[in-house]
A and B are shown apart, each in its own frame.
Chain A
């Protein structure tokens, strides 16, 4: 990356010392690659900052009201008790941090599978329940497969063949949104697959690790649940527990082998607090 030495015309006239300094300053950093502006990260951080400020302000206001009330009551003991209660109260910033991890810039959405999440433009039109997060060599690749209403037939398996030409693996997503991959996909002639490379330096996508929440994963690892059930509940249930969720099993009569997963509640794509109970409905065992 080179920099045009914009200081060829010294701001203070033809002073040779000024000319030299301008030239040297520009030359010194001309090869320094600053990368792409991390706009999504900036917006996310600003969102967290605004939220933290609001919580702090609300807490301060509440504290002032409490202190004023204590003074009106006039008891030193009451005031002391109030301060003690403040010391024992949960720190507001902790709650704020938990909320902040869900904050997204305007026009964006948070899509989470387990504890991995990405911020993507809202107009991508993806349901989180149809997405998977996969680890690649250098960055987490986020496979958004099966835009609602467009995916039919069998689920689309993950494959590097579905990389979006405009957003090569590990590359920078183009500004302005993601173009759909418009080639027919196996088993789904009208399917729409979008592959977005995850790189924290891109301007459109931000990767996050959720520490207080988890996204309910899709029942099928590559797309929406088709007409058949997911074979074997154990891996799915194990995944939920790995994410920090509690699992409650329910049985129903249905197609498939006993133990196959029929449904999950909350629905795939829902982001819930860690420790929440997720109900997994499986095919009942023969009695």
Chain B
């Protein structure tokens, strides 16, 4: 399904003020963004639902905000972080990720896995800023607003994240394949 509209490119004035219309426009992108943030497929839908319920409860306030997309993405990030705290089962960070079995018929899944593995190597802050900026296409200002940091912080996080991703061997392989 094609996704109409990009938050940053559209501009706040084009964002629907009606909740249902907004969700219809952004649902797919939000779920996919949640996956890139690190949620599983079903968890992503749960996170996005919870995020949107939070927004709907105070939709008047959201609508009145300078930037609806920034507000919703801020809620998305906060909801995801909260859900991760609740679902923590004692995992420990490690430099060595376990091998995952693949099949030749699952190239798309392989590509996704490679990208997600590369994102795993970023810190949470860097990963979040990469997803909001380069997938959700929030502007620098929107990203800064969503994360509650200065625009300069967004730039520096992006810069560091790009260096890590550019050097990632699995992504280099994908670049070669492309």
Contact of B35 among A7, A32, A38 (CB under 8 A): A32
A15 cross-chain contacts in B, Cβ below 8 A: 162
A1-46, CB < 8 A from B: 1-4, 6-7, 10-12, 15, 17-18, 20-39, 41-43, 45-46
Contact with A along B136-178 (1 / 0, CB 8 A): 0101000000000000000000100010011000010011001
Does A246 make an interface contact (CB < 8 A)?
no
B111 touching A27, Cβ below 8 Å: yes
Contact of B115 among A25, A34, A42 (CB under 8 A): A25
Contact of B178 among A23, A41, A53 (CB under 8 A): A23
Distance between A108 CB and nearest chain B CB, rounded to angstroms? 13
Given A17-B166, A28-B111, verify A49-B36 contact (CB < 8 Å): no
Does B91 make an interface contact (CB < 8 A)?
no
Q: How many chain B residues touch the partner (CB < 8 A)?
A: 45
For chains A and B in complex, what number of residue pairs have CB atoms within 8 angstroms? Answer: 108
Contact of B28 among A3, A25, A41, A43 (CB under 8 A): A3
Contact with B along A125-144 (1 / 0, CB 8 A): 00000000000000000000
Q: With A and B bound together, what is the CA distance between A184 and B24 in angstroms?
A: 36
Q: With A and B bound together, what is the CA distance between A138 and B121 in angstroms?
A: 40
B residues near A (Cβ < 8 Å) are 1-3, 6, 8-9, 20, 23-24, 27-28, 31-32, 35-36, 41, 45, 49, 52-54, 56-57, 108, 111-112, 114-116, 118, 130-131, 133-135, 137, 139, 158, 162, 165-166, 171, 174-175, 178
A residues near B (Cβ < 8 Å) are 1-4, 6-7, 10-12, 15, 17-18, 20-39, 41-43, 45-46, 49-50, 53, 203
